[in-house]
Chains A and B, each alone.
Chain A
Amino acid sequence: MSDINTVKGPDVRSDSAGLRKSKKDDDFRSPEEIAAEKKRGRVGQALVLPGFIFLLLFFAAPVVVMLAMSLYTKPPGADIGEFAPALQFSNYADAISQYWEPLLRSFGFAAIATILALLIGYPMAYLVAVRLRAHRLLSSILLVLLIAPFFSSFILRTQAWKQILADEGPVVSILRAIAILPPDGRLTASAVAVVAGLTYNFLPFMTLPIYASLERMDTRLIEASGDLYASPFTTFRKVTLPLSMPGVFAGTLLTFIPASGDYVNAAILGNNRDTTMIGQVIDSRFFRIVDYPTASALSAILMVAILILVMLYIRRFGTKDLF
């Protein structure tokens, strides 16, 4: 996933120059060189070890604990929140039969939001990275605005969205005036509002990787394509788009993964009946119903489903330098 680094901004470039150094010809090494290499290996291990142990304790182990907990059972007569270790695989069947709807909805909403973010984000990234490349100051300002949402509070923005989409708000009045919405039509507490919120909140995750890959592109390629009588559309399809694919790829993953697990948008902008997303279910199973096994099983299902989707996606569209 080396391309996630492109999120960080324009001055980040990845190449593997750092690695090439140690690839000396293996046949011509003196014992001293081999010993030095070993010593370097130990330094490397020492550098990685503290963080590695931290992640073992607080990422790997928790996932294992969660998987174990997803099989726990509630002994007869147990108090709320009291469970016994067991191998109750039926928890999974129960979780799926009860919550397949929010689960599918989460992936559906996330997929639509990802596609919309791509359609909205690509022109933005293209505008800043290619069209305005010669105007350094303007493109710098727009780049700052592009990352601006990262610096404002996610939940405050979502709440602001809710008020902008409210019945008496500007968006609804305009849509009613141009008859896209019926006179009594509304946007709040609807699937449309949730998807709009998801698209909005994860848009920067889509735009920045695309920006980073377009920014690296040599614009003379576009000129060359034009000189060879390609139409602007053909140039885009055959030159620009392929060159920006690593960014599109990283952007879609960075949008889809968090969007499918998000429940803030669904909770603030939805109506809790036909907009419930899986994150809300997991949250309420943990905290309101205090049913840890089902909550854990749902988390495990979400995690595995996403890993499978991501792997299929990588196999189908992935470029070699990712992952």
Chain B
Amino acid sequence: MKSNIGRWIIPILGGLAFVYLLVPIAYIFAFSFNDAGRTNLTWRGFTLENWQNPCGAPQICEALGNSLQVGIVATIVATILGTCIALGLVRYKFKFRNTADLLIILPLATPEVVLGASLLAQFLNLGWDLGFVTVVIAHIVFCMSFVVVTVRARVSGLDPRLEEAAGDLYASPLKTFWKVTFPLLLPGIVAAALLSFAMSFDDFIITNFNSGNFDTFPKFIYVAAARGIPAQANVIGSAMFIVALLIVVIGEVTRYRREKALTSK
């Protein structure tokens, strides 16, 4: 009997934890079908109307568009800069390497509110207007550190002999990079870019400090929370979730197939 409890304790605790993790997400999804009217607080019946007209709430799609734009620009810049840094840090030795390393790690160890407040202090000091540009800059700062950490792990796992072999076969360093290094790093870079986009899209605290009157999707929800979030926000949240989930599932399936193909050889 005792060993039976021991056997089941992990599945039970783990299962309960999954419920805890997923109930709010299920709630968001369910309430995207609520016939809510202005405030989506209690269940008033099933409707597809919110899904048919996700831009029905005022300004919601404008905020969504802003978030998508910020996310795309910040992700592209952060991924390029971060990948270069990751390559430079792992593959090369140079003078200020340790300083660079520290400077890249520190943003990860700084609470968002401090990052946001210090950037605001900087922008006030420079006399810049808050808006799209300042939000993008702020997002690049925290996304870049995540890209570096993600891609660096990938670079470290790469066998340098593959590049040496390409060199021995008279490939130029540039050609080696494009034909050997880059394709091998690509999964890591794609993962980093997706992560970076997800973080940028969902960021509230840093954005709130540096956006002025420029509204992003999280800001829209935060402001709306005071008087009641429209059901369309749940539709957009659910749709984003489904898209992201599909991307992850496709990624996992591809990986699974590749692994299977490799082991069957």
Chain A interface residues toward B at CB < 8 A: 1-2, 4-5, 8-9, 11-19, 21-22, 37, 40-48, 50-52, 54-56, 58-63, 65-66, 69, 120-121, 123-124, 126-128, 131, 136, 140, 142-157, 159-161, 163-164, 168, 200, 203-204, 232, 253, 257-258, 260-264, 268, 278-279, 282-283, 286, 292, 295-296, 299, 302-303, 306-307, 310, 323
Contact with A along B114-126 (1 / 0, CB 8 A): 1101111110110
Least Cβ distance of B113 to chain A in Å? 4
**Complex contacts, B97 vs chain A, CB 8 Å:** 44, 48
Pairwise interchain contact A142-B157, C-beta atoms closer than 8 A: no
Knowing A63-B118, A65-B118, A262-B112 touch, does A153 contact B240 (C-beta < 8 A)?
A: yes
Q: Measured between alpha carbons, how far is A152 from B240 in the docked complex, in Å?
A: 7
Chain B residues packing against A (C-beta within 8 Å) = 6, 9-11, 13-15, 17-18, 20-25, 27-28, 31, 41-42, 81-82, 84-85, 87-97, 100, 103-115, 117-122, 124-125, 137-138, 140-141, 144, 148-150, 152-160, 187-188, 191-192, 195, 198, 202, 204-205, 208-209, 217-218, 221-222, 225, 229, 233-234, 237-238, 240-241, 244-245, 248-249, 252, 255-256
Contact status B84-A48, CB under 8 Å? yes
Contacting residues, chain B, for A121 (C-beta < 8 A): 17
Provide the bound-state CA to CA distance between A292 and B205, in Å: 17
Closest to B208 in A: A283
Output the nearest chain B residue to A43 by Cβ-Cβ distance. B92
Q: Is the interface of B mostly helix, strand, loop or mixed?
A: helix
The answer to whether B88 and A47 have CB atoms under 8 Å apart is: yes
Least Cβ–Cβ distance between A307 and chain B, in angstroms: 7
Residue on B nearest A153 in the bound complex, by CB: B237
Q: Among B41, B141, B205, B240, point to the contact of A264 (Cβ < 8 A).
A: B205
Most chain-A Cβ atoms within 10 A of its Cβ — which of B111, B195, B209?
B111
Cross-interface CB contact of B233 among A123, A156, A258, cutoff 8 Å: A156
Partner of A154, one of B84, B195, B202, B256: B202
Q: Report the minimum CB–CB distance from B139 to chain A (whole Å).
A: 11
Asked if residues A160 and B24 are in contact (CB atoms below 8 Å), the reply is yes
A45 to B124 alpha-carbon distance, docked (Å) = 31
Given contacts A145-B21, A295-B117, contact A54 B140 (CB under 8 A): yes
Least CB distance from B61 to A in Å reads 15
Contact between B108 and A48, CB atoms less than 8 A apart: no
Cβ of B225 and Cβ of A159 under 8 Å apart? yes
A sample of 13 inter-chain contacts (CB < 8 A) reads A8-B192, A18-B155, A43-B88, A45-B94, A45-B95, A47-B84, A51-B85, A58-B137, A66-B118, A66-B122, A155-B204, A157-B28, A283-B209
**B28 touching A263 by the CB < 8 A rule?**
no
> In the assembly, what is the distance between CA of A42 and CA of B90, in Å?
14
Among A15, A55, A151, A279, the residue within 8 A (CB) of B241 is A151
Contacts of B81 in A (CB 8 A): 50-51, 54
Query: Does A303 contact B240, Cβ atoms closer than 8 Å?
Result: no
**Nearest B-chain residue to A22, judged by Cβ:** B93
Asked if A163 and B41 make an inter-chain contact with CB atoms under 8 angstroms apart, the answer reads yes
Given known A62-B122, A149-B21, A200-B24, contact A1–B85 (CB-CB < 8 A):
no
Known: A283-B113, A296-B121. A48 touches B24 (CB 8 A): no
CB distance from A66 to the nearest CB of B (A): 4
A155, B225: Cβ atoms under 8 Å? Answer: yes
Contact A44:B156 (CB < 8 A) given known A8-B150, A148-B25, A261-B114: no
Q: Is the CB of B208 within 8 A of A156?
A: no
Tell me the minimal C-beta distance from A232 to chain B in angstroms: 6
Question: Is B17 a contact of A44 with CB atoms below 8 Å?
Answer: no
